[in-house]
Structure 1
Amino acid sequence: MVPVWERPEPQPRAAPVPLSRAKIAATAIRLADAHGLDELSLRKIAKELGVGPMRLYDYVTNRSELLDLMVDAVYAQIAEAGRHADWRATVLAIARTTRAAALDHEWFSDLLGGRPHLGPHALAVGEATAAALSQAPGVHDIDDLQRALGALNAYLIGALRREVTERRTARATGTDEPAFQASLGPYLTRVFESGRYPTIARLVIDGTHLNAEDTFNHNLTTVLDGITR
């Protein structure tokens, strides 16, 4: 099958509601932002657009292609981070814009880490990231570049999924992480008094609740420092 990226748009039809892949993707993103991927279907998108479901199949053949279009539309936002003269500034800008996009579109984090995204905007972001990392002092050959990209992507995927999961949990339970820990205060006090978990006790008692953005940036810098060296 020819990928959706290489199939031409269907010819415009004399219909009350004009369609395009971009319009379908934008509607799907709006629904996914509001209700999550589990509630997303071509039938619901068609209803939102005011057309029959079968019309959508002229533009996307299945849900997988729809997700491809949605993901690439988000990568289009990330691609706007652009290139900077310095390799490190480029990587930082792309990573921070990726985090912002994932927080705006929480479902996006659910689709990271599987098979690579190969839409035109995803490839543009990948090219900019790889080209920048190839200029890092610690990257000397293609093997180094592969390892550097792997380390960066592993950090981004893990960090974004954790932050999005915490946000979802706080909404679902009505309790954020500090409040959750406080609710378990008596239990934790008894456990820590046993002396079996001294390091965890220090983290809970003496540690502060770190700002998510500051933590992301600090750890991202640590990863880039490791790549450099």
Structure 2
Amino acid sequence: MTNRYFLLVLTCLFVSCSEKEQNLDEEVFNDVFIQLAEKMRLKVSEIYPVPPPPLLDEKNLDSLKENLILYAESLNNYSAYLRNYYFHNYTINADSLNVKIGINDTLHTINPHHISNMYSNNEYLKENPEFRKLLVSNTQNLKSPKTIDINRIKEHKPFKIAKTSELGWKQELRNDYQNNKDFYLSGILDLSRVYFNKEKNKGYFTCSEIANHYEIFTQLILVEKINGKWKIKSEFYSY
């Protein structure tokens, strides 16, 4: 009986540790999300309302009735969008904003060897040898892609967050995506897995903003756990 109990406790501890290890990526993203949004230029204060729907073309009488119905729907959607917007007093009514950040469903893997070669001579890393050691020593640590558990990212206000699959966002729809939406899409973030040191108190990952720029905007993010919370220590423009 004693052996069974010991085995059960050992199994529970192993499962608990495994789950904690699996959720480390989300723990980092939860702690640094607002910092990260700012680093990726996704500021609520810089958002302007999308323009209203174009005026109704009344010249084509054959389809006027159908157009009137569609136009009324567009105006209703736009009215709802403006009611949720509150740009001029966003700091007071942050909870009323309907500004979303999309996050790609999958945390992708990166090539640590490539990262090491690109940044090993960076001035910040020269002055912070522990981070430099992390990048240089991690060249063989190839992590598998993983589906993000977005429910574990809770510290995201005033933004709302959603997976790209839930938003129905695709790169080819970028120019027309905002049409008739009752929320404002601030941006789409594509995140990598987080690569940690052995002590699990320092790490790095890449983050790309892929919705608002003609070219993909990517940064390498260095993080450190300080007083139980992850903080962004530095960031560098990447490939």
Structure number with greater CO (CA < 8 Å, separation at least 6) is 2
TM range (shorter): under 0.3
Q: Which has the higher helix share?
A: 1
* TM-score, L = length of structure 1: 0.23
Q: Which has the higher strand share?
A: 2
